[in-house]
Amino acid sequence: MDPPIISQPTVASSNPGQSNQNEWRNVTSPLNNSICDFIPGSLSASTQNVRDPISSTQNPMSNITQCPETNLSSCNTLVDENWPPKFSDKCQRNIAVTGSNLSPSDTALLRKFCLQFSVSEHSRFIPQKTTHVVIKEEAGRPRVVKRTLKYFMGILNRAWIVNTDWVRECVTSKRLLDESPYEIEGDTVCGDCHEGPRRGRLGVPAIPQSLDRLPFRNSSSRLNEAESSDRRPFAELWLCAYRNLGALQVADFCQLALDGGATRVFEKPSELMDATNKLTESLGIIGTDVRKPRAVILTDKDSSEFNLQECQELYRVYGVPVISIEWMLNCISLYRRLPINQAYRICPTPQPVSVSISKS
């Protein structure tokens, strides 16, 4: 069973005793204060006037764009019960499960469930095949869990993420029950009732439709129509790993990024820069308007290996913002493209530094 990926909260918890609408508001409202998503490059003044949530007291940062990419208060946070259409009973019963963070007794129960209902069980999450992640919930917090790799993969791959009560009740009643009353609603980092797993399972757009109307999203800057219609959390982004990623292995990072819709994924900043240069050269040759890819470099700022000066130099050399890996994990957990606020931002910073680092 994969171990929990635990980190300090950067999104406020909600009160599970309130209505769904209030629960969503409690989770998202702290993110609306002086926040922005940012990308390398430049935009016209008209673009920056669309809706800029940046505080007037905030110091401007050179060489990056303040992009009002996500204003969560303007999004419809409630999930439409009637979309997408429900699966047929036959398809719904074609189940493949994997357990996550289960106790020995829960593991034994899951195996009994699989034998009783002729369900296939896998030790790992298999995209396009695993339909259910059975995960241990927190004591005293119904349908709230510690985040694990399988939890993240299940959200991005539209799987059911349910607690062990579903397995137990199915075994007791000797029939497969509706998963909805047992679906995980929250986690120990982002809040008790954000319903990210449900949003992911239903394929609810993780990026507001209003972004398509921003001036910089014109036909010359889009790679293709199929990609521009992708509403997954990391659609049209280039994501790059740097050094320690916390509990994630580099391969896990790459898989999550791609499952979340990232256009390109890189293991090293040097690979990102090579790809950026090649794209710029190719677009220049064919006479297409050149715009740098929307890229970010991610690392774990809580790691013992973290070095702020190296990150500052990394930004100076490559011109790509460096942010916390927690941004990526929270985007997945909530199944939303979150703005990159001060809680996630590592670089740029106003302090100039001069330090040599290896370009790896």
Quick one: pLDDT at residue 68? 29
Domain with CATH 3.40.50.10190 in the chain: 26-78+204-347, 89-202
The residue with greater pLDDT, 136 or 40, is 136
Q: In what order do the strands lie in the sheet with 186-187?
A: 137-138, 141-145, 186-187
Q: CA 340 to CA 327: how far, in whole Å?
A: 7
Architecture of domain 26-78+204-347: 3-Layer(aba) Sandwich (3.40)
- pTM of structure: 0.72
Q: Which helix (H) or strand (E) holds 138?
A: strand 137-138
Q: CA 46, CA 65: separation in Å to the nearest integer? A: 13
Reported confidence tier of residue 5, pLDDT bands at 50, 70, 90: low
Q: Among positive and negative, which fits the CA dihedral 339, 147, 209, 183? A: negative
SS3 106: helix
Question: For residue 30, which of 16, 10, 50 has the smallest C-alpha distance?
Answer: 10
- Burial call 237-246: b when 16+ CB within 10 Å, e when fewer: bbbbbbbbbb
Task: Note the pLDDT tens digit of each residue in 282-341.
Answer: 877 666 666 778 999 999 999 999 999 999 999 999 999 999 999 999 999 999 999 999
**Cα(11)–Cα(23) distance, integer angstroms:** 13
Whole-angstrom Cα distance, residue 20 to residue 151?
21
Topology of the domain covering 89-202:
Rossmann fold (3.40.50)
Question: DSSP for 29-68?
Answer: GGGGSS--EEEES---HHHHTS-----TTSPP-TTEEEE-
Burial track 328-339 (b if 16+ CB lie within 10 A, e otherwise): bbbbbbbbbbbb
Q: How far apart are CA 233 and CA 223, in angstroms?
A: 17
Residues in a beta bridge with 347: 322
The pLDDT of residue 293 is 85
What percentage of the chain reaches a pLDDT higher than 70? 63
Instruction: List CB contacts of 80: < 8 A, sequence separation 6 or more.
Output: 202, 204
Q: Which two tokens stand for residue 353?
A: 């530094």
Give tens-digit pLDDT for 112-129.
Answer: 999 999 999 999 999 999
Check: CB of residue 284 under 8 Å from CB of residue 292.
Answer: no
158-184 tens-digit pLDDT:
999 999 999 999 999 999 999 999 999
Measured torsion, CA atoms of residues 348, 352, 356, 360, in degrees rounded to the nearest 10: 0
